Protein backbone atom coordinates (compact mmCIF):
# COMPACT_ATOMS: atom_id res chain seq x y z
CA UNK A 1 0.00 0.00 0.00
CA UNK A 2 1.31 3.46 -0.93
CA UNK A 3 2.03 5.58 2.14
CA UNK A 4 4.09 8.49 0.86
CA UNK A 5 3.84 11.62 2.96
CA UNK A 6 2.25 13.88 0.36
CA UNK A 7 -0.58 11.42 -0.34
CA UNK A 8 -1.37 10.85 3.35
CA UNK A 9 -1.15 14.56 4.12
CA UNK A 10 -3.58 15.49 1.34
CA UNK A 11 -6.01 12.71 2.26
CA UNK A 12 -6.26 13.72 5.92
CA UNK A 13 -6.50 17.36 4.92
CA UNK A 14 -9.57 16.53 2.82
CA UNK A 15 -11.41 14.75 5.66
CA UNK A 16 -10.32 17.06 8.49
CA UNK A 17 -13.68 18.94 8.78
CA UNK A 18 -15.60 15.72 9.52
CA UNK A 19 -12.82 13.63 11.05
CA UNK A 20 -13.99 13.88 14.68
CA UNK A 21 -17.65 13.31 13.80
CA UNK A 22 -16.85 10.13 11.90
CA UNK A 23 -14.42 8.81 14.53
CA UNK A 24 -17.11 8.96 17.19
CA UNK A 25 -19.96 7.90 14.92
CA UNK A 26 -18.21 4.90 13.38
CA UNK A 27 -16.89 3.67 16.74
CA UNK A 28 -20.17 4.32 18.60
CA UNK A 29 -18.07 6.58 20.86
CA UNK A 30 -15.96 3.62 22.03
CA UNK A 31 -12.88 5.46 20.78
CA UNK A 32 -13.31 7.92 23.67
CA UNK A 33 -13.14 5.07 26.16
CA UNK A 34 -10.01 3.71 24.47
CA UNK A 35 -8.27 7.07 24.75
CA UNK A 36 -9.13 7.39 28.44
CA UNK A 37 -7.76 3.89 29.00
CA UNK A 38 -4.54 4.85 27.22
CA UNK A 39 -4.08 7.84 29.49
CA UNK A 40 -4.78 5.80 32.63
CA UNK A 41 -2.34 3.04 31.70
CA UNK A 42 0.36 5.52 30.70
CA UNK A 43 0.17 7.22 34.13
CA UNK A 44 2.22 10.29 33.11
CA UNK A 45 4.33 11.95 35.80
CA UNK A 46 5.85 14.60 33.56
CA UNK A 47 5.64 16.17 30.09
CA UNK A 48 3.51 14.40 27.45
CA UNK A 49 3.85 14.42 23.67
CA UNK A 50 1.12 13.12 21.33
CA UNK A 51 2.35 12.28 17.83
CA UNK A 52 0.07 12.09 14.76
CA UNK A 53 -2.27 14.03 17.00
CA UNK A 54 -4.78 14.97 14.28
CA UNK A 55 -7.33 17.26 15.92
CA UNK A 56 -5.92 16.56 19.38
CA UNK A 57 -8.41 14.20 21.04
CA UNK A 58 -5.82 12.03 22.82
CA UNK A 59 -3.64 15.05 23.68
CA UNK A 60 -6.69 16.71 25.24
CA UNK A 61 -7.35 13.60 27.36
CA UNK A 62 -3.79 13.74 28.66
CA UNK A 63 -4.14 17.46 29.39
CA UNK A 64 -7.32 16.89 31.39
CA UNK A 65 -5.76 14.07 33.37
CA UNK A 66 -2.52 15.89 34.20
CA UNK A 67 -3.71 19.52 34.42
CA UNK A 68 -0.77 20.59 32.32
CA UNK A 69 -0.04 21.58 28.74
CA UNK A 70 0.47 18.72 26.30
CA UNK A 71 2.30 18.96 22.99
CA UNK A 72 0.51 17.56 19.93
CA UNK A 73 2.43 17.06 16.67
CA UNK A 74 0.99 16.38 13.22
CA UNK A 75 2.14 17.12 9.68
CA UNK A 76 -1.37 17.83 8.34
CA UNK A 77 -2.12 21.55 8.59
CA UNK A 78 -5.94 21.34 8.27
CA UNK A 79 -6.09 18.84 11.12
CA UNK A 80 -4.17 21.23 13.36
CA UNK A 81 -6.44 24.11 12.36
CA UNK A 82 -9.52 22.17 13.51
CA UNK A 83 -7.75 21.08 16.67
CA UNK A 84 -6.88 24.63 17.66
CA UNK A 85 -10.55 25.61 17.28
CA UNK A 86 -11.76 22.99 19.79
CA UNK A 87 -12.46 24.12 23.37
CA UNK A 88 -11.41 20.69 24.62
CA UNK A 89 -7.92 21.35 23.23
CA UNK A 90 -7.25 24.67 25.00
CA UNK A 91 -4.35 23.03 26.88
CA UNK A 92 -2.84 21.40 23.81
CA UNK A 93 0.11 23.12 22.16
CA UNK A 94 -0.10 22.11 18.50
CA UNK A 95 3.11 21.82 16.48
CA UNK A 96 3.38 20.98 12.81
CA UNK A 97 5.93 18.26 12.24
CA UNK A 98 6.61 14.89 10.65
CA UNK A 99 6.50 11.73 12.79
CA UNK A 100 9.60 10.52 10.94
CA UNK A 101 11.63 13.60 11.94
CA UNK A 102 10.06 15.13 15.05
CA UNK A 103 11.16 18.77 15.58
CA UNK A 104 11.75 18.08 19.27
CA UNK A 105 14.72 17.23 21.52
CA UNK A 106 15.70 13.72 22.55
CA UNK A 107 14.93 12.30 26.02
CA UNK A 108 12.37 15.05 26.72
CA UNK A 109 8.97 13.47 27.47
CA UNK A 110 7.69 11.21 30.20
CA UNK A 111 5.01 9.76 27.89
CA UNK A 112 4.97 9.81 24.09
CA UNK A 113 1.71 8.59 22.59
CA UNK A 114 0.20 7.93 19.18
CA UNK A 115 -3.40 6.90 18.47
CA UNK A 116 -4.46 5.42 15.13
CA UNK A 117 -1.61 7.14 13.35
CA UNK A 118 1.50 4.99 13.40
CA UNK A 119 0.11 2.60 10.76
CA UNK A 120 0.04 5.52 8.31
CA UNK A 121 3.73 6.45 8.49
CA UNK A 122 5.83 5.60 5.44
CA UNK A 123 8.47 3.79 7.51
CA UNK A 124 7.09 2.09 10.63
CA UNK A 125 10.43 1.24 12.22
CA UNK A 126 11.79 4.75 11.69
CA UNK A 127 8.60 6.16 13.20
CA UNK A 128 8.89 3.93 16.27
CA UNK A 129 12.53 4.94 16.71
CA UNK A 130 11.50 8.60 16.67
CA UNK A 131 8.86 7.97 19.37
CA UNK A 132 11.49 6.31 21.54
CA UNK A 133 14.13 8.97 20.81
CA UNK A 134 12.07 11.80 22.30
CA UNK A 135 11.01 9.72 25.34
CA UNK A 136 12.93 10.05 28.59
CA UNK A 137 14.88 6.99 29.76
CA UNK A 138 12.40 5.04 31.88
CA UNK A 139 9.51 6.88 30.20
CA UNK A 140 6.68 5.23 28.28
CA UNK A 141 5.67 4.96 24.64
CA UNK A 142 1.93 4.38 24.25
CA UNK A 143 0.58 3.15 20.90
CA UNK A 144 -3.21 2.85 20.52
CA UNK A 145 -4.06 1.07 17.29
CA UNK A 146 -6.50 -1.34 15.67
CA UNK A 147 -5.62 -5.06 15.76
CA UNK A 148 -7.02 -8.30 14.40
CA UNK A 149 -9.27 -9.97 17.03
CA UNK A 150 -8.35 -13.53 18.08
CA UNK A 151 -11.94 -14.82 18.07
CA UNK A 152 -13.29 -16.15 14.75
CA UNK A 153 -16.65 -14.47 15.37
CA UNK A 154 -15.02 -11.13 16.18
CA UNK A 155 -12.78 -11.42 13.11
CA UNK A 156 -15.81 -11.98 10.87
CA UNK A 157 -17.59 -8.95 12.33
CA UNK A 158 -14.38 -6.92 12.13
CA UNK A 159 -13.85 -7.81 8.47
CA UNK A 160 -17.44 -6.96 7.51
CA UNK A 161 -17.37 -3.66 9.39
CA UNK A 162 -14.03 -2.45 8.04
CA UNK A 163 -14.60 -3.95 4.61
CA UNK A 164 -18.16 -2.71 3.98
CA UNK A 165 -19.62 -0.37 6.61
CA UNK A 166 -16.71 1.97 7.40
CA UNK A 167 -15.67 2.79 3.81
CA UNK A 168 -19.27 3.22 2.64
CA UNK A 169 -20.32 5.58 5.46
CA UNK A 170 -16.99 7.40 5.59
CA UNK A 171 -16.78 8.02 1.85
CA UNK A 172 -20.41 9.17 1.63
CA UNK A 173 -20.09 11.62 4.52
CA UNK A 174 -16.73 13.06 3.47
CA UNK A 175 -17.28 12.76 -0.30
CA UNK A 176 -13.80 11.32 -0.42
CA UNK A 177 -12.19 7.94 -1.02
CA UNK A 178 -10.11 8.34 2.14
CA UNK A 179 -12.04 5.73 4.09
CA UNK A 180 -11.32 3.13 1.42
CA UNK A 181 -7.64 3.71 2.16
CA UNK A 182 -8.25 3.65 5.93
CA UNK A 183 -10.06 0.33 5.62
CA UNK A 184 -7.13 -1.18 3.70
CA UNK A 185 -4.58 0.25 6.14
CA UNK A 186 -6.37 -1.45 9.04
CA UNK A 187 -6.85 -4.81 7.30
CA UNK A 188 -3.18 -4.92 6.23
CA UNK A 189 -1.83 -3.74 9.58
CA UNK A 190 0.65 -5.86 11.51
CA UNK A 191 -0.12 -8.14 14.47
CA UNK A 192 0.04 -7.20 18.15
CA UNK A 193 3.01 -9.49 18.60
CA UNK A 194 4.89 -8.03 15.64
CA UNK A 195 4.32 -4.47 16.79
CA UNK A 196 5.54 -5.36 20.29
CA UNK A 197 8.69 -6.90 18.81
CA UNK A 198 9.39 -3.85 16.69
CA UNK A 199 8.88 -1.51 19.65
CA UNK A 200 11.54 -3.48 21.50
CA UNK A 201 13.87 -3.23 18.52
CA UNK A 202 13.25 0.53 18.51
CA UNK A 203 14.56 0.81 22.08
CA UNK A 204 11.83 -0.26 24.53
CA UNK A 205 13.11 -2.79 27.06
CA UNK A 206 9.61 -3.93 27.99
CA UNK A 207 6.30 -3.84 26.09
CA UNK A 208 2.92 -4.66 27.62
CA UNK A 209 -0.07 -5.26 25.31
CA UNK A 210 -3.59 -4.41 26.50
CA UNK A 211 -6.36 -5.67 24.15
CA UNK A 212 -9.54 -3.60 23.94
CA UNK A 213 -13.16 -4.50 23.06
CA UNK A 214 -12.68 -8.12 22.10
CA UNK A 215 -9.27 -7.43 20.60
CA UNK A 216 -10.38 -5.03 17.84
CA UNK A 217 -7.83 -2.54 19.18
CA UNK A 218 -4.93 -2.65 21.60
CA UNK A 219 -2.67 -0.40 23.63
CA UNK A 220 1.02 -1.22 23.35
CA UNK A 221 2.85 0.33 26.31
CA UNK A 222 6.61 0.27 26.02
CA UNK A 223 9.20 1.41 28.56
CA UNK A 224 12.34 3.07 27.19
CA UNK A 225 15.57 1.45 28.30
pTM above 0.85, yes or no: yes
pLDDT computed for residue 154 by the predictor: 79
pLDDT computed for residue 1 by the predictor: 59
- Domain positions in the chain are 5-224
Residue 134 has pLDDT above 80, yes or no: yes
Higher-pLDDT residue of 10, 25: 10
DSSP assignments along 45-75, one per residue: SS-EEEES-TTSHHHHHHHHHHTS-EEEEES
Residues 6 or more apart in contact with residue 167 via CB below 8 angstroms: 179, 180, 182, 183
Q: Tell me if 142 sits within 8 A of 38, measured CB to CB.
A: yes
For residues 96-113, average pLDDT: 98
pLDDT computed for residue 2 by the predictor: 60
Residue 163 has pLDDT above 90, yes or no: no
Residue 141 has pLDDT above 80, yes or no: yes
Residue range 5-224 forms a domain whose CATH class is: alpha beta
Amino acid sequence: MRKDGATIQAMFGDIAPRYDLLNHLLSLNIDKRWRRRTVKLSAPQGPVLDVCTGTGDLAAEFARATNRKVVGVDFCGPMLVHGREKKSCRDVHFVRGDALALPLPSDAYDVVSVAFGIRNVADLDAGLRELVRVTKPGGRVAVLEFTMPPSRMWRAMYGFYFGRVLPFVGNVVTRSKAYTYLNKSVMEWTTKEELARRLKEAGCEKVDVHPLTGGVAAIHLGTKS
